[in-house]
Structure 1
Amino acid sequence: MRNFVKEGYDLDYPNPDGAAALSAGDPLRYGDNLVAVALVDIAAGVTGSVVTEGVVTLTKLGADAMEIGDRVFLDHANKRVQLATGSDGGSPDLAFVCAGVVVEAAAGSGTTTVKVKLNVSQPTA
Structure 2
Amino acid sequence: MPCPPPEAASSGAGEAPCDLVTVPALHGLEAVDILRLRDGVGPVLHDRAGDTLGFLVPPGTADCWDLPGSACTQTLAHARAAAAEPPVAGAGWLVPPEGAYMGTTEPAELRAALGEAARTIAAAGHRL
Structure with more strand by fraction: 1
Q: Larger C-alpha radius of gyration, 1 or 2?
A: 1
By percentage of residues, which structure has more helix?
2
> Which bin holds the TM-score, normalised by the shorter protein?
under 0.3
RCO higher in 1 or 2 (8 Å CA, sep ≥ 6)? 2
TM-score by length of 2: 0.26
